[in-house]
Amino acid sequence: MRVRYVNISITEDLAKKIDEYVKKTKQGYRSRAEFISEAIRLRLGIIKSKKKS
């Protein structure tokens, strides 16, 4: 199955903060996109579990 991608817009300031975090920490992120994808997955998990309560 072919994975399709979409683009999103974030402020330049936020992008710079993410890039700094990815570069400085040893959390295993290889890119800004990888960090953002994980952040979104985590947030959606939080939202999903709150709705069950």
The tens digit of pLDDT for each residue in 3-49 reads: 999 999 999 999 999 999 999 988 899 999 999 999 999 999 977 66
Question: What are the boundaries of each domain within the chain?
Answer: 12-52
pTM of the model: 0.75
- Among 3, 13, 6, which Cα is nearest to 40's? 6
Per DSSP, 38 falls in state H
